[in-house]
Structure 1
Amino acid sequence: MSWLTIYFIFEWVLRIVLVLVVLRKPTMPSSKMSWLVVVMFLPEVGLFLYLILGVTHLGWRRKREHKYVLDLASTQSQVGMTEMMAKDKEKGGDVGAKVRDIVEPEQKAMVLQAQSMSGNPIVTGSDVQFIASSKRYVDLLVKDIDEARDHVHLLYYIFVDDDYGRRVVNALIRAEKRGVACRMLVDAAGSRGFVKGHGFGELKKHGVDVHAVLPVNILRHKLSRIDMRNHRKIAIVDGKVAYVGSHNVVEEHYGGQDDMKWVDLSGRYEGPIVWQMQRVFLDDWVFQTQKQLDEMGLFPDAKKVGGVSAQVVPTGPNYEAETFRRVLIAALNSAQHRIVMTTPYFVPDEPTVLALSMAADRDVDVRLVVPKDNNHPMVKLAGEYYYDYLLNSGIKIHQFENGLLHSKTVTVDDAFGLMGSANIDMRSFHLNFEVNVLMYGKDVTQRLRDEQKTYMTYSTLIHLDHWRDRSNWRQFGEAVCSLCSPLL
């Protein structure tokens, strides 16, 4: 038997085995189809890619282990939250008000779904300050760190030791010298320059407990897929102030492109909602370090400081369901008048596209704001494949022209808004660790929409006729990239 015949048999055996593995994979048919195309045409490449990218969940042993440490981390926050609500009720407050007292009937199903998946109920009495400028974000964060008395917790996907990052590093060192417990997590891939550089070691030298999470290693044991990322951006100071949104700790012109300014939006939160954000950090901390934190100052008495009702919705492969996607679709389905969405990376799945088009069918004014220029060309082309269908459905698409719009927001009617780290793409739906905040009420929704209106001011509205005039080669590229959408 010749080597050519042996190779031919090997390839077909490999194809058959991989086809059976892919078909048994509990994912959407579109994702299976993408894998099958690769496997049938390039079986060796398909095997390699599937081994490092095909498994998007925790192994059974790690899932059991993670559930154990997650429960440990959750006990403090859940018990503390219950005690805080009880104390507030005794004083005649309404921090733990019932859903029916906070949201309209149309949103009740979405709220309960988010609560059942995240374990976080709606809490009232919080306040949020929206921050657009990266400099302003760092100014406020450094000020809060300098005023910290008990602890500082930071978790960032990208942390760069530039002028902004250096200010935060120095603030952490000052806080540690004052006896403040400083803990920091950074994603090993997104912050690889920082992890390998001087700043990471400098923090360790001065006593800051800093760790790189999810190292990129084919033999990594904690998660099956090596490109799973912790995409969250969280900062918590003394359990009283928290930052959540799209800002990383990096200058606006990150990436070396002076004409590509990153445009972000985050919230500085105070009040009872900070406890839920603390819980998310503790989940990640315990998972990474296997160490439980039991300091009394992690969950101080939460005081009502404003009128914002909110709910934190974390998502990631440690959750059984695609939490963010389900909450997003529930939000879209609840819309009666208007939806505005902003995202830097728009690669939707079929249920999301259907929910958007169905909203437009109900005469809901649906607007999508995306950057005209993108730092990931393949992702941009994959997303643009859906524009024709969306435009034809009556959805308005705005292309932001004043930088790389990196803000991730959704507003629905005058009822509620959503802001956080998650994009409208497959990675945020199925793969990455993300965190988002649902905020309820007319005032906070209008304030968030005012930020969205600013983006639309610097955007150009796409017209269907003009869009269809793009070149055949462009359309072909979009179609090819769309086939890879489930893998992006």
Structure 2
Amino acid sequence: MLLALSVIATQIATIIRVLLRPHRDPASRISWVAVVLAVPVVGVIGYLLMGETSIGRRRAARVRLALEALPPPVSDPAPDVPPRYEQLFHAGRSISGYPPVGGNTARLAEDSNAAIVGLVADIDAATDHVHVLFYIWLDDGNGLRVVEALRRAARRGVACRAMVDDIGSRALVRSPHWAAMEGDGVRLARALRVGFPLLRPLQGRIDLRDHRKIVVIDNRITWCGSQNCADPEFRVKPRFAPWVDTMMRLEGPIALQNQHLFASDWMSWGGDDISALLRDACEGSGEGFAAQVIASGPTERNSAMPEIFQTLIYAARRELVVTTPYYVPNGPLQAALCAAGHRGVATTLVVPARNDNWAVAAASRSYYADLLAAGVRLLEYPLGLLHAKTLTLDGEVTLIGSANMDRRSFDLNYENNILLQDPATTAAVRARQEAYIAASREVTREEVAAWPAWRRLWNNTVAVVSPLL
């Protein structure tokens, strides 16, 4: 009897915590309450381990102190942004504090291997510093090309700093190449260290990760996109290969904003103070375009990333094209895409035909029927795992970066993206999207309507559970 009362009291206390926890959407609250009531012990333990998005008080304090120590990046005068797009950059600034800066230029890498070739060339040409941050960095062909480039740069006196996520890049950290970089003078850091796995959950959720991909060279060049530092064959999940990514090389004042973001992570997770670099101005091109870094994460404003996606989707008037590997939206984001289709915007969503995450694959397909009914063109890419995270609207605005359209990117990961307004650069991204579309198979309303009941039941069940993850 005493044990039963203890379980009931624990259930009640956990449910109260679920209901009082700030920044939680109603669907997630309902799901957790149902689980705690249905399976009391498992539900309570599950909530304590996976139900909250806290990195821990000490870590949060370190992030706050690092940001307070950093001066804002030097900004050029406000660029000439068309009035119809000013609201987009206002929304971005409200999240990360970075204003749009003008005078930027960009080049889209042809493919994943070409991106590494270009990155290595930039490292080899660096004269002052090279800063690199990747979620996943493998000790494969492309990964070691970057390792060797950093070692060469460090040996010739360039200040090199390399940072990885402690889980995503654990294989490299444990390899001799990590120590070899340090031996040649590359300064190293690991974001969100796990430590002893059994104790880590007591200090903050273990699966909150640094998913960013940032490269900054000499305060004037930066790389941004979806690509991890690895071969497209991605040997850790070879049966889904190749990984199909999009990377962009940008030059101009936008590099200083990515520098600020790198510095905040670097100084949060044990790196030296590099705030002095942010006091250097980077002159832009008079013919360049407006761009802005948009960062999100567990210590940033809640729901920042889905808010940006929704803002961009509602701003589209003629055309909207989205590529994402993981489409598990919250309610408002799904509604925004459907609304775009309903109001006559030519809306296209491209996702992988085969996903490396079975739960995401099932949950994604639960949204197909409503998207197709709204007039959204839906395609599945069959030639590997389409990992590119891109959004273009009306042929003039592009969002590119690391964030997916799923809860992990919305609430659990540190992400980095760049928003830019430029018809020429957007045309290049749009051409890449069109190449994905041309290789894809279109999903029809008739096809989805013909799915057997067991398949719809499976997809919808996984989608119902997704707010717990």
Q: Specify the alignment match of 2:215 in structure 1.
A: 235
CA distance in 1, matches of 2:259, 2:191: 18
Letter in structure 2 aligned against 1:35: W
Residue 186 (1) aligns with residue 164 (2) = yes
Q: Specify the alignment match of 2:38 in structure 1.
A: 41
Name whichever of 159-168 and 290-299 sits farther off. Answer: 290-299
Residue 152 (1) aligns with residue 130 (2) = yes
Is the 1:271–1:306 contact (alpha carbons within 8 Å) kept by the matching residues of 2?
A: no
The structural deviation recorded for 1:340 is 0.5
For residues 246-301 of structure 1, the C-alpha deviation after alignment (integer angstroms, 9 at most, x for no partner) is 01111111134256211000110101111111111011011111632145587353
Is the 1:128–1:308 contact (alpha carbons within 8 Å) kept by the matching residues of 2?
A: no
Is the 2:326–2:364 contact (alpha carbons within 8 Å) kept by the matching residues of 1?
A: yes
Q: Specify the alignment match of 1:449 in structure 2.
A: 430
CA distance in 2, matches of 1:130, 1:147: 19
Pick the aligned partner of 1:414 from 395, 411, 423: 395
Written as runs of structure 1 = structure 2, the 5 A alignment for 1:121-160 is: 121-160=99-138
Unpaired segments of 5 or more residues in structure 1?
A: 86-94
Pick the aligned partner of 1:389 from 342, 364, 370: 370
Is the 1:124–1:310 contact (alpha carbons within 8 Å) kept by the matching residues of 2?
A: yes
1:109 to 1:295, Cα distance in 2 relative to 1, 3 A: closer
For residues 122-163 of structure 1, the C-alpha deviation after alignment (integer angstroms, 9 at most, x for no partner) is 111111111141211111111111111111100000000111
Is the 2:219–2:282 contact (alpha carbons within 8 Å) kept by the matching residues of 1?
A: no
CA distance in 1, matches of 2:395, 2:361: 30
CA distance in 2, matches of 1:406, 1:139: 19
The structural deviation recorded for 1:213 is 1.1
Pick the aligned partner of 2:14 from 15, 18, 21: 18
User: Does the residue aligned with 2:116 lie in a helix, a strand or coil?
Assistant: helix
1:485 to 1:204, Cα distance in 2 relative to 1, 3 A: same
Residue 316 (1) aligns with residue 283 (2) = no
Is the 1:62–1:222 contact (alpha carbons within 8 Å) kept by the matching residues of 2?
A: no
Name whichever of 346-355 and 39-48 sits farther off. Answer: 39-48
Pick the aligned partner of 2:5 from 2, 9, 16: 9
Question: Aligned residues, how many?
Answer: 465
The structural deviation recorded for 1:119 is 1.0
Is the 1:271–1:305 contact (alpha carbons within 8 Å) kept by the matching residues of 2?
A: no
CA distance in 2, matches of 1:155, 1:33: 37
Q: Specify the alignment match of 1:482 in structure 2.
A: 463
The structural deviation recorded for 1:476 is 1.4
Name whichever of 250-259 and 129-138 sits farther off. Answer: 250-259
Q: Specify the alignment match of 2:283 in structure 1.
A: 302
CA distance in 2, matches of 1:258, 1:474: 23
Residue 460 (1) aligns with residue 441 (2) = yes
Q: Specify the alignment match of 1:248 in structure 2.
A: 228
Is the 1:312–1:436 contact (alpha carbons within 8 Å) kept by the matching residues of 2?
A: yes
1:223 to 1:128, Cα distance in 2 relative to 1, 3 A: farther
For residues 428-482 of structure 1, the C-alpha deviation after alignment (integer angstroms, 9 at most, x for no partner) is 1111100011110222222211111000001111111111212222111111110
CA distance in 2, matches of 1:297, 1:336: 37
CA distance in 2, matches of 1:171, 1:343: 30
Provide TM-score, normalisation by structure 1. 0.91
Letter in structure 1 aligned against 2:132: L
CA distance in 2, matches of 1:280, 1:307: 22
Is the 1:132–1:264 contact (alpha carbons within 8 Å) kept by the matching residues of 2?
A: no
Letter in structure 1 aligned against 2:230: V
Is the 1:408–1:422 contact (alpha carbons within 8 Å) kept by the matching residues of 2?
A: yes
1:300 to 1:172, Cα distance in 2 relative to 1, 3 A: farther
Written as runs of structure 1 = structure 2, the 5 A alignment for 1:213-362 is: 213-216=191-194, 217-220=197-200, 224-254=204-234, 255-257=236-238, 260-289=241-270, 291-296=272-277, 299-304=280-285, 306-362=287-343
User: Does the residue aligned with 2:107 lie in a helix, a strand or coil?
Assistant: strand
1:218 to 1:419, Cα distance in 2 relative to 1, 3 A: farther
Q: Specify the alignment match of 1:96 in structure 2.
A: 78
Q: Specify the alignment match of 1:90 in structure 2.
A: none
CA distance in 1, matches of 2:326, 2:279: 35
1:296 to 1:310, Cα distance in 2 relative to 1, 3 A: closer
Provide TM-score, normalisation by structure 2. 0.95
User: Does the residue aligned with 2:269 lie in a helix, a strand or coil?
Assistant: helix
Name whichever of 47-56 and 61-70 sits farther off. Answer: 61-70
Pick the aligned partner of 1:169 from 136, 141, 147: 147
CA distance in 1, matches of 2:393, 2:252: 24
Unpaired segments of 5 or more residues in structure 2?
A: none
Letter in structure 1 aligned against 2:51: G
Is the 1:52–1:218 contact (alpha carbons within 8 Å) kept by the matching residues of 2?
A: no
